[in-house]
A and B are shown apart, each in its own frame.
Chain A
């Protein structure tokens, strides 16, 4: 049997006194879409950044295709990053470059592809997310939030990555645009056959794109399972979260009047 695409064991990270990740264990097989749900500030983004190697975990191991990435040399890490595409929360488009150069960025800068060829691929990816060629010449600041998200999605899938991360893909969008983005994500992932990890607190989005769901709380995965079982988790924390109740075992740090 092939090793899981992404395997986390005992991943820990603290910033000073604050423990953000307190031993995360998970094995994600190839082709699955994991959605990590959890409250704001629960360490979801930190987890993704650890896997990407932007943040170095304090302890634990992260294997991608069976290869250890924690403490790996920059060359090995670069090789792993080459397999990963990411959609950032705020889109994180380069505002000094026009849209098509954003989408083709990795092809041109990372892989040294010829500009004309890279532009063709970029236009194809833009079409895939429903953006017409004239948009390619605009700058990110000239686009609406929903269009920026689509460009960011096109950029994430531009190099046909094996693994894609989505960081709050629907935050800040209206419900209809959010659903459009969800559909695009599902379609693109299916087309690439990619393994994905998404983090979100939008349950509609989670239900749509997940095959598996895990909930992070107190730096640990307190529940993990198939997406269809989320309503039958039998876990009070999960129930409180997916129904969005203020009352329950999760106490937000707000002072009550």
Chain B
């Protein structure tokens, strides 16, 4: 019994220590992000990598989410003749929740993993030490550009995702459920508030930052060859996903709790 408790306690303390290390890493990275030298070339490359190349994944995810959302809410709402609420449900769910969270999770799998693997390989092959020896701060050269690109590109992806999600709902409502197109669009616009979109974009910026942060952190601290890099990649994706879901709640609470 004592043994079990001790194990749980150790795991809990270890978890807190890991969180603390991540926060310290984030603090150091933020400090380097705002001080020169900056590397516009590298920031640009990361922006293309995160923004442009994640576009197909995010587009497909949000499009189908919007479609299934319309279909599912129809099944539910038809039971109490509230079909007309579907447009509102789709647009609010997409902008406030689904687009940022789904895009965040997809990008965590795509980009967070790639960052952890790349930086992790650089760590185990001494390339990060080489950076330091060559008078280049690895935080500025490797971490800062990724954080900047993550925090700026995910909101753009989510904005596109918002539009595609609503479009997906529209497609299903009009062509499958025989809604009136004009009425559907009017309902979509009528109940949408500015804050709904803004809160989603703020979430996206935070999620983008978190994905890049965990990717860099686990890569930066990986050790022990190929196995260590693999471990870092897994940890990056898992911790990014968990942090996204936790922060999703916190930000929602901050925006909409009354």
Contact = CB atoms under 8 A, between A and B. Distances in A.
A86 B133 contact: yes
B135 interface: yes
A49 B131 CA distance: 13
Contacts, number: 51
B136 A105 contact: yes
B134 interface: yes
A101 B205 CA distance: 33
B84 interface: no
A52 B126 contact: no
Chain B interface size, under 10 / 10 to 19 / 20 to 34 / 35 or more? 10 to 19
Contacts of A82: 135
A51 to B, nearest CB: 11
B129 A49 contact: yes
A94 B135 contact: no
Nearest to B140: A109
A110 interface: yes
Contacts of B131: 94
Contacts of A56: none
A207 interface: no
Interface in A86-122: 86, 88-90, 92-95, 105-106, 109-112
B130 interface: yes
Contacts of A86: 130, 133
Interface string A70-94: 0000000010011011101110111
B225 to A, nearest CB: 11
Contacts of B7: none
Nearest to B134: A106
A195 B136 CA distance: 22
B132 interface: yes
Contact of A81 (B127, B132, B141): B132
B142 to A, nearest CB: 11
Interface residues of A, number: 23
B136 A92 contact: no
Contact of A88 (B37, B39, B130, B136): B130
A252 interface: no
A83 to B, nearest CB: 10
A125 to B, nearest CB: 14
B125 interface: yes
A86 B134 CA distance: 8
Interface string B108-133: 00000000000000100111011111
B129 A81 contact: no
Contacts of B136: 105-106, 109-110
A110 B125 CA distance: 21
Nearest to B118: A96
A242 B37 CA distance: 47
Contact of B135 (A90, A92, A110): A110
B7 to A, nearest CB: 22
Given A109-B136, A109-B141, A94 B130 contact: yes
A105 B134 CA distance: 7
Interface in B127-161: 127, 129-136, 141
A158 to B, nearest CB: 9
Nearest to B128: A92
A54 interface: yes
B52 to A, nearest CB: 18
Interface in A23-68: 49, 52, 54
Contacts of B132: 52, 54, 81
Nearest to A88: B126
Contacts of A109: 37, 39, 134-136, 141
Contacts of A52: 129, 132-133
A78 B126 contact: no
16 contacts: A52-B132, A52-B133, A81-B132, A84-B133, A85-B133, A86-B130, A86-B133, A92-B125, A92-B127, A94-B122, A106-B135, A109-B37, A109-B134, A110-B134, A110-B135, A110-B136
Given A88-B130, A105-B134, A109-B136, 19 more contacts: A52-B132, A52-B133, A54-B129, A54-B132, A54-B133, A82-B135, A84-B133, A85-B133, A86-B130, A90-B125, A90-B126, A93-B130, A94-B122, A106-B135, A109-B37, A109-B39, A109-B134, A110-B135, A155-B134
Interface of B: 37, 39, 122, 125-127, 129-136, 141
Q: What 8 pairs between A and B have smallest CB-CB spacing? A: A110-B135, A92-B126, A92-B130, A106-B134, A86-B133, A109-B136, A88-B126, A92-B127
